[in-house]
């Protein structure tokens, strides 16, 4: 189907801005991308049923990770660890503050918005380590919010969706090894990147069909991986490309949402298929006419539909 009218308005606005001259170096490119995503931050919606918002630093697995904790006015149904998107190198708890508040207030969830370390200053596996550390902390501290460890969900969009997938895989491995006791309630991936092998482009038509013109571009993805792999990470590492895991058996229930006009569409849907083939409880949906991380724009009807699916999934798996 064609791009939705409400999405086209966003694209037209972006395309109306005169592009700056080419960056002088990688540092300038990174600074520009960080400034651009910063403009996506939505104003605080005071009408949401959020009782409190607290910035703190949690200590877990030898790491100190800044987080922002949102507590709902209603009794929480789950605790969500949220991992923001941004190609592992841009984005923050501020850019995703609006989304976290929606999930807390409208979904009656405690939300822990994670300020994981970014590349290239802190390349792979810093973000992976921080994500797992906060997830384990959430389970250990769920009782302080009136919840059980089994009511913790890990979620994320784009690069954060990748981190959610990797965290869910690692968590399942620790559970099988007897190193932790409680399973996750589930994991949620919005428009995730699941395969960083750019030589595999022929396997994913969406990378060619949506390579430019729909906000996230192929050029941006290659730049993000360049920053992320400064430590020598390779795309064949399953903690970089979770689709390459030898086994997905035993993972917690999953919700995976994709967008038609997203270069990451096909690899996300292939990951959903792989989870399903491994016997994982998977709910997946492609949002036609939409673009990458459309759920960030709360006024869009498709974002509201996405929220409804998230809340339905959380209530089912965390009850």
- One digit per residue, pLDDT tens: the chain, 319 residues? 899 999 999 999 888 877 778 888 899 989 999 988 877 778 888 889 899 999 999 999 999 999 999 999 999 999 999 999 999 999 999 999 999 999 999 999 999 999 999 999 999 999 999 999 999 999 999 999 999 999 999 999 999 999 999 999 999 999 999 999 999 999 999 999 999 997 655 789 999 999 999 999 988 999 999 999 999 989 999 999 999 999 999 999 999 999 999 999 999 999 999 999 999 999 999 999 999 999 999 999 999 999 999 999 999 999 9
- Predicted TM-score (pTM) above 0.85: yes
Q: Which position has the token pair 């700056």?
A: 20
Residues labelled as active-site residues = 158, 262, 292
Exposed, middle or buried, 184 (CB in 10 Å: 0-12/13-18/19+)? buried
33 within some domain: no
Report the SS3 class of residue 16. Answer: coil
Q: Does residue 32 fall inside a structural domain?
A: no
Asked whether residue 148 is domain-assigned, the answer is yes
Helix (H) or strand (E) holding 238: none
- pLDDT, residue 199, reads 64
Residue 111 belongs to a domain: yes
pLDDT at position 201, please?
A: 57
Within a domain: 187: yes
Q: What is the CATH number for 195?
A: 3.40.50.1820
β-pairing, 50-60 vs 78-83, is unpaired
- Say if 256 falls within a structural domain: yes
**Does residue 208 fall inside a structural domain?**
yes
pLDDT at site 204: 93
pLDDT at 15: 80
The C-alpha R_g of the chain, in whole angstroms, comes to 18
Range of the domain at 157: 5-17+43-317
pLDDT at 101: 97
Report the alpha-carbon distance of residue 157 to residue 259 in Å, rounded: 12
Asked if residue 191 is part of any domain, the answer here is: yes
Q: What is the pLDDT of residue 200?
A: 54
Domain count across the chain: 1
């Amino acid at each position: 189907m064609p791009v939705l009218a409400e999405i086209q308005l966003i694209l037209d606005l972006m395309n109306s801005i005169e592009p700056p001259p080419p960056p002088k170096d990688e540092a300038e490119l990174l600074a520009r991308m960080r400034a651009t995503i910063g403009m996506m931050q939505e104003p605080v919606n005071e009408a949401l049923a959020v009782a409190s918002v607290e910035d703190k630093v949690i200590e877990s697995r030898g790491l100190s990770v800044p987080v922002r904790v949102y507590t709902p006015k209603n009794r929480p149904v789950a605790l969500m660890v949220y991992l923001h998107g941004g190609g592992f190198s841009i984005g923050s708890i501020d850019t995703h503050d609006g989304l976290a508040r929606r999930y807390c207030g409208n979904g009656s969830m405690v939300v822990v918005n994670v300020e994981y370390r970014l590349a290239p200053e802190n390349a792979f596996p810093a973000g992976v380590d921080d994500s797992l550390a906060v997830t384990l902390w959430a389970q250990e501290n769920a009782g302080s919010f009136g919840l059980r460890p089994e009511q913790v969900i890990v979620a994320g969009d784009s690069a954060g969706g990748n981190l959610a997938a990797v965290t869910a895989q690692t968590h399942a491995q620790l559970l099988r090894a007897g190193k932790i006791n409680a399973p996750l309630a589930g994991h949620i991936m919005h428009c995730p990147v699941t395969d960083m092998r750019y030589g595999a482009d022929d396997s994913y038509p969406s990378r060619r069909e949506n390579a430019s013109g729909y906000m996230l571009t192929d050029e941006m993805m290659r730049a993000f991986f360049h920053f992320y792999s400064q430590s020598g990470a390779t795309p064949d590492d399953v903690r970089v490309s979770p689709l390459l895991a030898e086994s997905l058996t035993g993972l917690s229930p999953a919700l995976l949402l994709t967008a038609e006009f997203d270069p990451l569409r096909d690899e996300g849907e292939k990951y959903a298929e792989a989870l399903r083939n491994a016997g994982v409880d998977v709910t997946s949906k492609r949002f036609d006419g939409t673009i990458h991380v459309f759920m960030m724009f709360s006024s869009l009807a498709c974002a509201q539909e996405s929220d409804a699916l998230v809340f339905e999934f959380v209530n089912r798996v965390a009850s």
